Amino acid sequence: MVHDAVAVSAPGKVLLAGGYLVLDKAYTGLVFGLDARIHVVVRDIPTRNGVTLNEIVVNSPQFLGAVWEYGYRLTERHGGIKVTPLRVDADLNLNRNAFVETALGYALNYIATVSSPVIAPASVTILADNDYYSNPTDHANGSATSPRFHNFGVPIAKAHKTGLGSSAALVTAFTAALLTYYLPKSTLDLTTDSGARKLHNLAQAAHCAAQGKVGSGFDVASAVYGSCLYRRFSPSILSNHVEPGQANYASQLRDIVDETGETGKWDTEIRKDAVKVPKGLRLVMCDVSCGSQTPGMVKQVLAWRKEKPEEADTMWTELQQANEGLAAELKALAEFEETSPGYDGLKQCFTRIREGIRSMSEASGVPIEPPSQTELIDACEAVPGVIGGVVPGAGGYDAISLLIEDKDETVSALRKLLAGWKFRGESGGGVGGGRVSMLGVREEMVGVKAEDAESYRQWLT
């Protein structure tokens, strides 16, 4: 069967408030989608490749050697569809991409159980907006002069990520594109609540499997739904399911995704109406390119919480209130119809969150807002038009997020400050001094969306 080409994109993310807390269902995370998207185009496989039946070829043309070929076949004992990577390099090493491979396996299995097990070959192209990676030759990422999809000229593993959540956006857009390509709208329509929910469940399952752990899932949730107040699903929904290839894998996966099995309904909570950005304000992300984050931060914070439950719970309750306070203040200002009451309330929300984070840093001994980041955020907050800043997500030395007045003079003053900023890494943090750059991204309210496949024509190989 010949299908029409389809294209889907999904946004990146920033967990502005609720890092660590969001791992526990008792708390929530304030997550913003970002307008850096990952785009996935699926089309019939071009016959000139001489590819025979049952192959799906995936490529990511912005990176060197980023082509992955997969064979697939139906297995016995209702084990579902087995996906096998095919391409080997000159040294007979398989070139693997865990996120693509896992998402493909999960999507094909779901598709085969809700529709036909006969799956036509296809060609899949992944295109990432430039801000997902720092471009060493062009510090002004997102500037008007750079091509829409930059050729990074390095293998994907060597690209420097800016921490916008590439794997979650990729898995979500990739899964959505395959579902749209292979399933009729009557079986799954991503524009309906039930279609979006199924995509969410399937993408969460695939992303957790590829990561080898069940995280909070805020990144996949915002890739599907865009900015929202997020309460995680119970980890047990995904922690005990049958492995790919084992008996009844595919039907169990379908039950999990369709919420028809033993695990029943997912208890995720997505509140889109709780998140707004007042007119005249925007989010800004700054990438601190000074080395990697201290590994094991999540483990250490959770170990501290286990050891000192009372201290931790008091701090987390205070932080949760501060985080909810920020969401409520943003929403109130966004809905305020008369003259704006000003931003003092918002500023206080940021101060309260940062105090909470620094208390948690100190008590747990984990550099969530380390002194060098405190210095940087303080300097940014002193720039006229900057409302407040935080270390997003897990914190550490990677990035900061700011809420600012959406004015050219604020952006240029910030750029000026950052251009001259020499980031001071702490000894013991495993990082050296480095640069801070402002990314060209801002908040994005919309999650996954269908795109016009034609608009990517020049980027398809």
Ligand X SMILES: Nc1ncnc2c1ncn2[C@@H]1O[C@H](COP(=O)(O)OP(=O)(O)O)[C@@H](O)[C@H]1O
Rule CB under 6 A: is residue 394 a binding residue for ligand DP6?
yes
Q: How far apart are CA 234 and CA 268, in angstroms?
A: 8
- Find the shortest distance in angstroms from Cβ 249 to ligand DP6: 25
167 vs 372 by CB, closer to ligand X: 167
For 336-407, where are the alpha helices, taking DSSP H only? 344-364, 371-381
15 binds ligand DP6 (CB under 6 A): yes
- Closer of 188 and 391 to ligand DP6 (Cβ): 391
Contact status: 20 vs ligand DP6 (CB under 6 A) = yes
Contact 297, 368 (CB under 8 A): yes
Interface with ligand DP6 includes 302 (CB under 6 A)?
Answer: no
Pairing of strands 55-59, 122-128: parallel
**In 3D, which of 271, 211, 254 has the Cα closest to residue 235?**
211
Residue 17 or 176 with smaller CB distance to ligand DP6 = 17
SS3 of the chain: helix, strand, coil, percent, to 5: 40, 20, 40
CA nearest neighbour of 374 among 393, 361, 364? 361
Q: Does 315 bind ligand DP6 (CB under 6 A)?
A: no
List Cβ<8 Å contacts ≥24 apart for 70-73: 70/101, 70/104, 72/108, 72/119
Instruction: Please state whether beta strands 435-438 and 386-390 pair in parallel, antiparallel, or not at all (unpaired).
Output: unpaired
Which of the choices ligand DP6, ligand X, none does residue 60 contact, using the CB cut-off of 5 to 8 A by kind? ligand X
Start-to-end CA distance of the chain, whole Å, equals 22
- Residue 391 CA to residue 360 CA, distance in Å, equals 13
397 binds ligand DP6 (CB under 6 A): no
- Which of residues 215, 261, 325, 430 is near ligand DP6 by CB under 6 A? 215
Q: Which does 394 bind (CB under 5 to 8 A by kind): ligand DP6, ligand X, none?
A: ligand DP6
Residue 97 is a binding residue for ligand X (CB under 6 A)? yes
- Which of ligand DP6, ligand X, none does 438 bind, CB closer than 5 to 8 A by kind? none
Q: Is 286 in the site for ligand DP6 (CB under 6 A)?
A: no
Beta strand ranges found along 308-454 (DSSP E)? 386-390, 399-405, 435-438, 443-444, 449-451
Q: How far apart are CA 285 and CA 276, in angstroms?
A: 17
Q: What letter would DSSP give residue 155?
A: B
Count, residues near ligand DP6 per rule CB under 6 A: 14
Among positions 133, 218, 225, 316, the unique one binding ligand DP6 when judged by CB under 6 A: 218
DSSP conformational letter for 457: G
Q: Which of 165, 195, 226, 429 binds ligand DP6 (CB under 6 A)?
A: 165
Q: Is position 370 an interface residue for ligand DP6 (rule: CB under 6 A)?
A: no
Residue 393 contacts which entry, ligand X, ligand DP6, none (Cβ below 5-8 A, type-dependent): ligand DP6
Residue 165 contacts ligand X per CB under 6 A: yes
What is the SS3 assignment for 322? helix
Contact by Cβ (8 Å): 171, 105: no
Of 219 and 443, CB closest to ligand DP6: 219
Task: Residue 216: name its binding partner from ligand X, ligand DP6, none (Cβ under 5 to 8 Å by kind).
Answer: ligand DP6
**From ligand DP6, ligand X, none, which one binds at residue 170 (CB under 5 to 8 Å depending on kind)?**
ligand X
Q: Which stretch binds ligand DP6 (CB under 6 A): 3-11, 15-23, 359-367, 381-389?
A: 15-23
Q: How far apart are CA 146 and CA 165, in angstroms?
A: 22
- The verdict on 446 binding ligand DP6 (CB under 6 A) reads no
Q: Does 122 contact ligand DP6 by CB under 6 A?
A: no
Sole binder of ligand X in the list 6, 14, 156, 400 (CB under 6 A): 156
In terms of Cβ atoms closer than 10 Å to its own Cβ (0-12, 13-18, 19+), residue 74 is middle
Q: Which residues bind ligand DP6 (CB under 6 A)?
A: 15, 19-20, 22-23, 163, 165, 215-216, 218-219, 298, 393-394
Which residues here bind ligand X, judged by CB under 6 A? 60, 97-100, 126, 128, 156, 161, 165-168, 170
